[in-house]
Structure formats: structure tokens, C-alpha cells
């Protein structure tokens, strides 16, 4: 195995008999008592999933015991199937799947040791920290296939058929009742330069709920060709969970030429964290208050690389930041002291130089804290054998 760090003791917690991973950095893979960490097991990491190709959903213990729960055919290499523990049902998980009868995506509830016990009418993209609701968007419209599902191919319509009744939805996790939070029509009305959406394919992505479950952040993106996506434009929106006062916080001018690559809510209800290269000197950890217009950005720390997935520790004192691999294929994980800006390298992971065509199947670290802040987990392929989940105890 290639060494990760000469200082920190990283441990692989998934078996070495195949490819295992969790997915994105903006969600919690642990159950309430941190005895189980959700993972997917897949057969291959070299190509996009095919229609009908399944992934196994299960969990591992911190000492590496794997248990399979169920399967799904709605998964991707970057974000899995959005698998999460159900906040209102401690012994249940939520995950997305494809219904072959209705030909629709939906979220399912699986009770550990029993089986499927319920479904929601839409797929769920993310959950609120208070556990009361989930956020849904049309994953089938996402043209970047590393972030969507094989059974729902991208269509030819540039805009959704019904702009007034499609968009971002909230799902009550207790009742299953859904409501339209913000319509595409409203988003376009708040668009910073709406004229540029004409003749462009538009979609939603990366919805996140803030720390006190009062506001939602999401991205509206647009591209000239949904079947060959490159040079897309990004517009960040926020609104309250009542759907009032939706606003385009960051239009594409703040994103163009990769001046931002990732975003997440911060430590307070209105704070947003981005990795921004707004001064042209490199990517930095930057926060701003989305309720201020115009906003005033504050730099927390310098960057250690390009394209960091960043997330605050549960107590808000530390910040995890990974990096995209460079020409040598090394992805670096750093922990930053928020008060001082001091950076400590937790590991360097050899993910091999990426091929030109493997952007959708690449393996990013996607660092994640445990709820108590004592564990960090990442997805890695540094052993040149299998994708796996690695754990560091802090």
C-alpha cells in the first residue's frame, strides 16, 4: 500500500474484496451512535454505470465489519445513491432507487434487519439537520453523468416542460407530503441575466440545507449542449424553507474560469463557505453572509491546492479541505484551524494522474466528519487495487 502519512494512522475500514465508497462530502454517513458508516459496494470504477447495473448498499463498523442491507440501480460514482440514515427512524436508511414499473426515481426506506418499509414519491437529494424534511430535485436532468443515474437518461428539452410546477421540492419525512419550494419560473425571474438562458439547457444541482434547517442553498446551471457538457455556467440561489425571498446570491461572474469549485453552508444560518480564487493568487477558504447585499467575503485560510471540498467540524473550530489531483495524481487532505488559519496536512493520497475521459468516474476524497468530530473518513484509490473508505481517528 502506498503511504498516506508518516504521522497519522489511516485505517481502511472496508474489505479488500472489491470497490467500496460513500460519496459526497456534504452529508453524514454515520448512524446516531457512530457504530455504523454507510457505504456502497460496486463492481467497477472504470466506466459509467449501465441501465440496470446495481450497487450494494450496506454499512461498515469502525473496525471494518461489512454488512449488506439492500441494492439500488440509482447510483453514480461521485454521490452514490444519496444513502443516509433516516433521522426519524434510527434503525432505517434512506436511499434513491429506480422503479421499473413507473420508470421514476424515488427514495426508499429500509429498516435494518427487516427490509423495505416505505417509499417517498420523489428521489431525495439531501436532508435537513433537524430531520424533518428532505429536499428533492430532478436528478434525471443533471447532464453530468457522474452525478446522475443511468436509468434516467438526459432528454432533449432545454427547459422543463412546466416551469411553474417543477423545480426544488420539500418532502415531509414523517408524512411523505411534498410541496414545491421554488419553481423554475421563479428562479428564472430572479436570474441575474436571464437572457442568457435562452437556447441553453438548464438544471438544478447541489442542494444543501443550512445548520438550523431554515434555509436551502442550490445551484442552477446551464450549458449549450446537454449531451456534451463543458463550460457550463453556475448560479447559486438561496431561500427560506417557506419558499419566500429566493435570491440569486452568486451569479456566474463569480464562478467563471473556475474561480469557485465547491460550496457549502457554514457555522451560522446565513454563512456560506466556498473555495474561491477571486484575487487570482490561488484558492482560499472564504466565507460570506448570504443575507448581506452586497456581501462581504472574508478569507479564513490560504489553500493547499485546487478544487477543495471543504467542510467545518461539528464544533466549527476546524475545517477539512481536500484537493483535486495534479499532474502527479496526488490528492492532499488538510485540516485548518479556523481561528489561526494554520494548516496541517493529514495525508497525501496517490490517485494516479487522471485520464482525459474519467472525470465522471474519478475518485475524490470527499472528506467527512463524524457527528462528534472524532473521526474523519475519505474515499480513496491510493492502493492501486480497489476504491475504499479510510478512517482517521482525531
Whole-number pLDDT of residue 302 = 86
Whole-number pLDDT of residue 2 = 53
CA distance 361 to 76: 8
Whole-number pLDDT of residue 106 = 98
C-alpha cell at 335: 485540516
Whole-number pLDDT of residue 230 = 82
Neighbours of 372 (CB within 10 A): 13
Whole-number pLDDT of residue 124 = 98
59 with 39: CB under 8 angstroms?
yes
Q: Residue ranges of the chain with pLDDT lower than 50?
A: 1, 356
Whole-number pLDDT of residue 309 = 95
φ and ψ at residue 172, rounded to 5 degrees: -70, 115
Neighbours of 151 (CB within 10 A): 20
Whole-number pLDDT of residue 355 = 59
Q: What structural domains and CATH numbers belong to the chain?
A: 11-393 (2.130.10.10)
CA distance 314 to 106: 30
Whole-number pLDDT of residue 43 = 96
347-352: long-range contacts at Cβ-Cβ below 8 A with a sequence spacing of 24 or more? 347/4, 347/5, 347/8, 347/10, 347/392, 348/4, 348/5, 349/4, 349/378, 349/380, 349/382, 350/2, 350/382, 350/384, 351/325, 351/380, 351/381, 351/382, 352/325, 352/381, 352/384
Q: If 0-12 CB within 10 Å is exposed, 13-18 middle and 19+ buried, where does residue 14 land?
A: buried
Whole-number pLDDT of residue 256 = 87
Q: Give the neighbor-by-neighbor strand order of the sheet with 92-99.
A: 84-85, 92-99, 104-111, 115-120
Amino acid at each position: 500500500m502506498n503511504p498516506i502519512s508518516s504521522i497519522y494512522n489511516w485505517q481502511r475500514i472496508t474489505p479488500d474484496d472489491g470497490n467500496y465508497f460513500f460519496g459526497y462530502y456534504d452529508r453524514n454517513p454515520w448512524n446516531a451512535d457512530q457504530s455504523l458508516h454507510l457505504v456502497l459496494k460496486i463492481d467497477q470504477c472504470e466506466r459509467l454505470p449501465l441501465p440496470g447495473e446495481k450497487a450494494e448498499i450496506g454499512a461498515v463498523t469502525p473496525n471494518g465489519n461489512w454488512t449488506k442491507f439492500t441494492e439500488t440501480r440509482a447510483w453514480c460514482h461521485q454521490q452514490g445513491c444519496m444513502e443516509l440514515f433516516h433521522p426519524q427512524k434510527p434503525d432505517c436508511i434512506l436511499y434513491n432507487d429506480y422503479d421499473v414499473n413507473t420508470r421514476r426515481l424515488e427514495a426508499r426506506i429500509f429498516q435494518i434487519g427487516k427490509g423495505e418499509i416505505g417509499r417517498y414519491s420523489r428521489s431525495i437529494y439531501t436532508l435537513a439537520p433537524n430531520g424533518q424534511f428532505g429536499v428533492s430535485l430532478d436528478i434525471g436532468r443533471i447532464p453530468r453523468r457522474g452525478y446522475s443515474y443511468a436509468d434516467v437518461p438526459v432528454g432533449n428539452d432545454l427547459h422543463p416542460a412546466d416551469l411553474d410546477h417543477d423545480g426544488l421540492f420539500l418532502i415531509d419525512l414523517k408524512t411523505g407530503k411534498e410541496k414545491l419550494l421554488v419553481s423554475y419560473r421563479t428562479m428564472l425571474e430572479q436570474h441575474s441575466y436571464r437572457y442568457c438562458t435562452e437556447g441553453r439547457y438548464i438544471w438544478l444541482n447541489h442542494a444543501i440545507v443550512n445548520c438550523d434547517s431554515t434555509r436551502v442553498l442550490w445551484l442552477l446551471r446551464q450549458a449549450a449542449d446537454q449531451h456534451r457538457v463543458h463550460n457550463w455556467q453556475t448560479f447559486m440561489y438561496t431561500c427560506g424553507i417557506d419558499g419566500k425571498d429566493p435570491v440569486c446570491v452568486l451569479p456566474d461572474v463569480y464562478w467563471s474560469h473556475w474561480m469557485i469549485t465547491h460550496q457549502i453552508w457554514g457555522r451560522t444560518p446565513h454563512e456560506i463557505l466556498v473555495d474561491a480564487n477571486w484575487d487570482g493568487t490561488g484558492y482560499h477558504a472564504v466565507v460570506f453572509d448570504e443575507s448581506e447585499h452586497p456581501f462581504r467575503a472574508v478569507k479564513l485560510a490560504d489553500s493547499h491546492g485546487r478544487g477543495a471540498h471543504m467542510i467545518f467540524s461539528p464544533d466549527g473550530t476546524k475545517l477539512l479541505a481536500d484537493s483535486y489531483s495534479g499532474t502527479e495524481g496526488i490528492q492532499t487532505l488538510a485540516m485548518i484551524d479556523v481561528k489561526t488559519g494554520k494548516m496541517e496536512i493529514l495525508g497525501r493520497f496517490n490517485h494516479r494522474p487522471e485520464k482525459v475521459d474519467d472525470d465522471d468516474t474519478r475518485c475524490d476524497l470527499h472528506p467527512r466528519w463524524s457527528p462528534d468530530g472524532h473521526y474523519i473518513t475519505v474515499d480513496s484509490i491510493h492502493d492501486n487495487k480497489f476504491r475504499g473508505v479510510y478512517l482517521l481517528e482525531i
